[in-house]
Amino acid sequence: MIFLIYSETETATIETNLGAPEYSYYFVLKEFRPVLEELGLVIPVTDPAHEVDAIWANAARHGEACVFLSFSPPHRTFVPAHCPTIPVFAWEFDTLPRETWDSDMRHDWRTVLRQTGRAITHSNFAVATVQRAMGDDYPAISLPAPVWDRFAAIYDPRRAEADPRITVRGRVFDSREIDLAIHTPAYRAAHGIAPLPAAAERDEWRGLRLGGVVYTAVLCPLDGRKNWFDMICGFCWALRDAADATLVLKLTHRDCDESIINMLEDLAKLPPFRCRVVIIDGYLPDDSYVELARLSTYAVNTSHGEGQCLPLMEYMSAGKPAVAPDHTSMADYINERNAFIVNSHPEPTIWPHDPRLAFRALRLRLDFESLLGAYRDSYAVARHDPARYARMAASAHETLRGHCSRAGLRNGIRSFVLPAFEQPQMAAPESLRLDA
């Protein structure tokens, strides 16, 4: 079997594309690739319109089966004339885009899904959404990115003390080192927006010391679905007297200045707090990213909806319990044994790529009081109930083993993809050549 794989973002462009639409598909492809390589020959493509059918034709002439896995949402998936194609996508809304705009039929995802004939998503929630739109018998499967194996390596049931330092390339904004008074609305009205504090330059390496009870979230601050406002305000309100509590926000966007300014303004509006908020603006190399997970006590998510949430899955694979809601994709792995659950309620929203901003779906609005309780309860467990914390950590680790391991993905590909495409679909047209 030959697997052709494609994502709009590539290794060479991930730093410059960080936070851009669909950038996270690169990370999903990166996790899928080692498993696909166990099952067949993997060929990355950069120009599907010119490469896919040509490679398929060459494979067919040699009796090889070939399938194109497009790590893209359906409206950005190129469907070739001949090569079998499966879109691999995340989705966190209760309805599928089923209308057109800009004279492009692909915005009605049903058009593309009818052409491909099957789909791979990353949650049972998304599978249900697809099948409501396409019919209960439409072939769709949930195959989450297999992050468990990498992050399971740092799970330590003894919770041994780790070196509390991490090396960061980029800027770090620490609430204990910033004069928040100059970021209040009153100061802005009198003096204009204060410049960002003198933190490290974007390409400068610096050390960061973390300790105590550490809550970590990895998110794109320009993505309104991530709801960092509730995350920050809830933390500083619930744990305002806890000097050993730290919230770390690792931002994933190439230009976070405006978001950081808004975060500092929100911090400045809050009553005095002793807890600590650290904002990291930079691209963490793999070893630093893993070290941040090792130093964390909890993973935090306050989003209105998730297609799968790779950071939350990674941290829980490493044995970090969560503070998170249990809606959308998170319902597959968040439960009372491994998380402090934040309640939520539906409200109208838009499909994120719809320029009309038309209300066509629902998202989940968090219950703020429930979020405060989750922060307080999680802090109390970390400080005073090590036995319960250890049980929750073990449950997170084991739950995610079943949810997003390489073994699970391998079995899913074998059962869903290989039987459908393990034989060449038709003779290759002579007009198609590898360099077409």
Q: Specify if 194 maps to a domain.
A: yes
What is the torsion angle, in degrees rounded to the nearest 10, for the CA atoms of residue 386, residue 388, residue 394 and residue 396?
Answer: -120
83 and 168 together in one domain: no
Confidence of residue 19 (pLDDT cuts 50, 70, 90): very low
Examine the pLDDT at 33 and tell me if it is beyond 50.
yes
Over the chain, what is the mean pLDDT? 91
Residues 140 and 283 reside in one and the same domain: no
Q: Are residues 291 and 414 in the same domain?
A: no
% of the chain residues with pLDDT over 70: 92
Cα separation, 17 vs 23, in Å, equals 6
The answer to whether residue 28 scores a pLDDT higher than 70 is yes
One domain, residues 267 and 390 = yes
* Same domain membership, residue 190 and residue 323: yes
pLDDT of residue 287: 84
Reported as a pLDDT band with limits 50, 70 and 90, residue 191 is confident
Shared domain for 210 and 344, answered yes or no, is yes
The verdict on residue 427 lying in a domain is: no
Measure the CA–CA gap between 205 and 427, rounded to whole angstroms: 56
pLDDT (0 to 100) of residue 204: 77
| Phi and psi torsions of 361, nearest 5° | -150, 180
pLDDT at 426 over 60: no
**Sign (positive or negative) of CA dihedral 97, 99, 100, 105:** positive
For residue 128, pLDDT beyond 50: yes
**What is the pLDDT confidence band of residue 197, given thresholds at 50, 70 and 90?**
confident
pLDDT tens digits, one per residue of 199-229: 656 667 888 899 999 999 999 999 999 999 9
The answer on 317 and 235 residing in a single domain is yes
pLDDT interval class at 434 (50, 70, 90):
very low
Cβ neighbors of 324 (< 8 A, separation 6 or more) are 299, 300, 301, 302, 312, 330, 334, 339, 340, 341, 342
- Tokens read off for 272: 């005095």
Report the side by side order of strands in the sheet with 339-341. 171-174, 276-281, 245-251, 213-219, 298-300, 322-324, 339-341
* Percent of the chain predicted with pLDDT > 90: 79
| pLDDT of residue 161 exceeding 80 | no
**Helix 406-416 and helix 24-39: axis angle, to 10°?**
70
Domain count, the chain: 2
Q: Tell me the residue range of the domain where 188 lies.
A: 148-404
